[in-house]
Amino acid sequence: MKVGLLGLGTVGGGTAQLLLEKKEHFEELLGAELELTLAADLDASQKESLGLDDRIFTQDASRIVGNPEIDIVVETIGGMKVAKDFMLEALSAGQQVVTANKALLATHGREIHATAKANQTSVAFEAAVGGGIPLIRSIREGLLANRIESCMGILNGTSNFILTRMTQDNAPFEEVLALAQKKGYAEQDPTFDVEGVDAAHKLAIITSLVTGDYPSLEDIHMEGISKITPLDIQFANEFGFTVKLLAIMKNKGQKVQARVHPALVPHDHVLASVDGAFNALHITGDWVGDVLLYGLGAGREATASAVVADVVDLARDLLVKSRGRVPALGLAKSRGEHLELAPMEETSCQYYFRFTAADEPGVLAKVSRILSEHNISIETVIQKGRRSEGSVPIVMMTHEAVEKDVSAALARINALPQITEPIMLMRKA
């Protein structure tokens, strides 16, 4: 079984190293040789450190893509257009493809999987969601006897690291973000991680596996963690919650919800204890009940582990002359069509509000009246002492309410002259 590798960055370099170091182990698993035949990258600086000689290393990707002697093409270059073009060309040429490119699959998954199906090839993408955690295989194969009712997870290690340190150190977002960048957990431009985009890419892939259809990223509600303050984390703790950035999918039959936002997780829920850069996905199936998958969601070793597992899996199929044994989304009769998600305004849950108000009589009464007029009832209220500038924080947990009503009520409350800062909102998981 001959493998061609595109890209020798963090994940690609780890994949090359793993394929070379454990070559004998993979031969024992397969009963056949698994050979890294060619590895391509425009940058030759890592060639020697990875142990790649001139027979393996190339700067010409065309020696791999479309080459009939290469059985499996591994794409780890990232990005969109070039990666997409290489993948489509490889699939059209009958090559099997492994990728860790979540953004590409979330955006162009329908076209990529359709090309694979038309050419009786396969796209394996375990490493695209959850790094080394076997999420894709678990949903697509391990839980296939179930109707998946919900998936709720921490799918971005950077945001989870930041929230963990904010909680433990009572430190502001900007300070902890700088620490995450120093440690290498966050990019210099951390937008994709801290604003929920990365988690939304992964949620789109999970949702497609559960439903058999492809949601548009534009339809997934996204909120990040940059507005969370230590004060919110403290109040959440008083109510009995831990703040996490969650990706949530709820499969309600005719309607499917998919959203990413900061959420209040009860202290006794398993996701509340997932700290640092770790990821976890809590799955509920109609027969299996609750399942938790947990581990490192990123990093050289964990992600390379998932990439190589896909390579071995596809090699096993080829050895028995099988192609497309497991459909891309796990459903042989998958329509592979656009999935229309339930609008965010229909979401129903409990809400956390933090109002910063002038220290005047009657403010709480005005706020409560507006909430009542929009069918929102208050479960608990905490009011702390006056700040130095004369304002007071008022924090509420509501009973279950509808997003549409909440949006309308908060728009009115924000317009009150006594409200001195934009209202902070979080939802209960």
Catalytic residues: 202
Q: Decide if 390 contacts 359 (C-beta within 8 A).
A: yes
Helix (H, G, I), strand (E, B) or coil at 399: coil
- Between CA 207 and CA 248 the distance in angstroms is 9
Residue 6 assigned ligand-binding role: yes
- Between CA 207 and CA 185 the distance in angstroms is 26
What residue has token string 């391509």? 40
Residue 271 assigned ligand-binding role: no
* Residue 337: HSE in the Cβ half-sphere, 13 Å Cα cutoff: 5
In 163-240 the beta strands, taken as DSSP E runs, fall at 214-215, 221-222
Burial of 341 (0-12, 13-18, 19+ CB in 10 A): buried
Return the closest-CA partner of residue 263 out of 293, 284, 239, 296: 239
Intra-chain end-to-end CA distance of the chain, in Å: 46
- Between CA 184 and CA 3 the distance in angstroms is 30
Return the closest-CA partner of residue 121 out of 313, 314, 307: 314
- What would the 3-class secondary structure string for 1-54 be? CEEEEECCCHHHHHHHHHHHHCHHHHHHHHCCCCEEEEEECCCCCCCCCCCCCC
- Between CA 65 and CA 76 the distance in angstroms is 13
Residue 8 assigned ligand-binding role: yes
- Between CA 422 and CA 296 the distance in angstroms is 36
Residue 65 assigned ligand-binding role: no
* Residue 143: HSE in the Cβ half-sphere, 13 Å Cα cutoff: 29
Residue 99 assigned ligand-binding role: no
Residue 320 assigned ligand-binding role: no
Residue 150 in tokens:
């919900």
Residue 345 assigned ligand-binding role: no
Residue 79 assigned ligand-binding role: no
- Between CA 89 and CA 91 the distance in angstroms is 6
Residue 240 assigned ligand-binding role: no
Return the closest-CA partner of residue 330 out of 197, 240, 205, 217: 205
| Binding positions for NADP(+) | 6-13
| Binding positions for NADPH | 102
| Binding positions for L-homoserine | 187
| Binding positions | 6-13, 102, 187
